């Protein structure tokens, strides 16, 4: 199998993973709303969907149109980062359980989660997004896609994190914060 075909399979697998996320997200968003969940930050969500879809399409288009030479060290190291970002993403999803979704929905009265990767840093899922957004296109030397996604995603995350922090500020403190 050529590296270009292998890369196409990789991007398709990431796309299937994203579809699985959307199924989990929909189920979890319904769970939150049934418990009085409040959604905020809706305005940026369509841009996020387009940007993340564009990452996959851009990575494939750049690979097939440019057909760059791909140094093995680059390909394998970026593939390792893609796999690590997926592991971190699913650690976040399993840690949040039914409270995880792709929107900003909080259930009043539930304290923010402070375990798993959330015990290590505030927004671990966004670390996974940043790493994957850069690493996935670079598996096949997609410098343009990696750079464009990184710049656009930085702007998106600035808006998204502000919306999420504001929503989380409406919740009671975590047990750890209450003891401090």
CATH number of the domain that 78 lies in? 1.20.120.1630
Number of domains present in the structure of the chain: 1
Residue 176, domain member (yes or no): no
Q: The domain containing residue 77 runs over which residues?
A: 3-170
Low-confidence ranges of the chain (pLDDT < 50): 176-180
Residue 178, domain member (yes or no): no
Query: What pLDDT is stored for residue 175 in this prediction?
Result: 54
β-bridge mates for residue 38, sequence order: 106
φ and ψ at residue 40, rounded to 5 degrees? -135, 170
Residue 180, domain member (yes or no): no
Q: pTM score > 0.75 for this model?
A: yes
Non-local CB neighbours of 66 within 8 Å, separated by 6+ positions: 141, 142, 144
Non-local CB neighbours of 6 within 8 Å, separated by 6+ positions: none
**CA separation for the pair 128, 173 (Å, rounded):** 25
Query: What pLDDT is stored for residue 179 in this prediction?
Result: 36
Query: What pLDDT is stored for residue 178 in this prediction?
Result: 41
Q: At what angle do helices 124-138 and 45-66 cross, to 10 degrees?
A: 20
Residue 179, domain member (yes or no): no
Residue 24, domain member (yes or no): yes
Residue 112, domain member (yes or no): yes
């Amino acid at each position: 199998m050529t590296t270009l075909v292998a890369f196409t399979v990789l991007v398709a697998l990431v796309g299937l993973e994203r579809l699985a996320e959307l199924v989990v997200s929909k189920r979890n968003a319904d769970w939150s709303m049934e418990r009085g969940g409040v959604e905020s930050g809706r305005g940026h969500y369509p841009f996020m969907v387009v940007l993340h879809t564009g990452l996959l399409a851009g990575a494939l288009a750049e690979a097939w149109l440019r057909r760059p030479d791909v140094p093995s060290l680059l390909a394998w190291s970026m593939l390792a980062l893609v796999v690590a970002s997926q592991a971190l993403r699913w650690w976040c999803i399993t840690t949040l359980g039914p409270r995880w979704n792709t929107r900003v929905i909080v259930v009043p009265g539930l304290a923010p989660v402070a375990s798993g990767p959330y015990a290590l840093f505030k927004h671990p899922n966004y670390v996974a997004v940043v790493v994957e957004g850069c690493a996935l296109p670079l598996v096949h030397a997609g410098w343009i896609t990696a750079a464009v996604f990184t710049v656009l995603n930085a702007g998106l995350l600035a808006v998204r994190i502000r919306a999420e922090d504001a929503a989380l500020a409406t919740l009671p403190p975590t047990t750890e914060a209450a003891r401090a």
